[in-house]
Amino acid sequence: MSHEKRLLSYIEDLVRHYAEYACDQYELTLDMLPESQQNELVRLYIESIDREIEWACYGSDESINSDFLCSMLGMLKNNNHETRALFAETTQRNLLIFYKKTLGSLLTEGCETYLQNQMNEKDYHADYESGDVVWGKF
């Protein structure tokens, strides 16, 4: 299975288990997921983009005094459990910050796809009226 298919399959599982259904739609945000699912989602996303993370480790701060650089330098200066743990936590947090918008869009698309698949299984189909989706058996 390709990395992209694994990602989409995982998103479908997340929607199935964590999304909230209200007002005829599913909603799932990154903040609604447990930390372990957030980590797996970002890992699968990074795999799907061929591990091209460029500046992602910096999160939203690419300055010379960023948390990422400071924790990395601290670990290199004093390589122990505490500094390695801080570096790992900082990197993990920054990856989620950097990809939050993208992952949010993927979760929203996953919710829409999940709803569409559920409705299609019940033989309903979408029709668009004035920009709104109307489900019916057309």
- If 0-12 CB within 10 Å is exposed, 13-18 middle and 19+ buried, where does residue 94 land? buried
pLDDT given at position 138: 62
pLDDT given at position 113: 93
27 membership: H or E segment, kind and range: strand 25-27
CA 67 distance to own-chain centroid: 22
Among 101, 102, 95, 104, smallest CA distance to 33 is for 104
d(CA 95, CA 43): 9
Those residues whose C-beta lies under 8 Å from the C-beta of residue 28, and which sit 6 or more positions away, are 14, 15, 18, 19, 20, 107, 108, 110, 111
pLDDT along the chain (138 residues), means of 10: 95 97 91 96 96 93 94 96 97 96 97 89 78 72
pLDDT given at position 12: 96
pTM of the predicted model as reported, rounded to 2 decimal places: 0.86
**Residue 134 and residue 127 in contact, taking contact as beta carbons nearer than 8 Å:** yes
Rounded to 10 degrees, what is the CA torsion of 63, 74, 100, 9?
Answer: 140
